[in-house]
Amino acid sequence: MAPSGSLAVPLAVLVLLLWGAPWTHGRRSNVRVITDENWRELLEGDWMIEFYAPWCPACQNLQPEWESFAEWGEDLEVNIAKVDVTEQPGTD
């Protein structure tokens, strides 16, 4: 039996959302986390670095895009990293 007309559209939208959802559970991030201990890595190669604060709404909105961008880092021959300026104030 086919779904009724009132359920067909929401069901189709749900299927499309689930099918296209980025499943990141258990997946390792390509974004390196820079700290006071490992900042010397920045002296080698080319880097794109996000300086962020976890409480910042704009920084939170950027996170999915930054993760997506990091997937291209190897192809672009650029290291992608981020620095939490609230935890690592000496690296900003």
CATH number at residue 36: 3.40.30.10
5 is catalytic: no
Kindly report whether the global pTM for this prediction surpasses the value 0.95: no
| 78 belongs to a structural domain | yes
Residue 5 lies in a domain: no
Q: How many structural domains are present in the chain?
A: 1
Most distant CA pair in the chain, distance: 64
Nearest by Cα to 50 from 65, 72, 71: 65
Q: Of 49, 59, 62, 85, which one is the catalytic site residue?
A: 59
Whether 8 is in a domain gets the answer no
Distance from C-alpha of 87 to C-alpha of 16, rounded to nearest angstrom: 39
Residue 28's pLDDT is 79
Under a CB-based contact definition with an 8 Å cutoff, are residues 52 and 68 in contact? no
- Would you call 59 a catalytic residue per the annotation? yes
Chain segment 40-49, per-residue pLDDT in tens? 888 899 999 9
pLDDT at 53: 94
The pLDDT score that the predictor gives to residue 17 is 46
Q: Which of 53, 56, 87, 92 is catalytic?
A: 56
Domain range for 73 is 25-91
In a domain, 80, yes or no: yes
Question: Which tens digit of pLDDT belongs to each residue from 25-78?
Answer: 456 788 999 888 888 888 899 999 999 999 999 999 999 999 999 999 988 999
Q: Is residue 54 part of a domain?
A: yes
Instruction: Give the neighbor-by-neighbor strand order of the sheet with 32-33.
Output: 32-33, 79-84, 47-52
Instruction: Answer whether residue 61 is part of any domain.
Output: yes
Beta strands in 22-62 (DSSP E): 32-33, 47-52
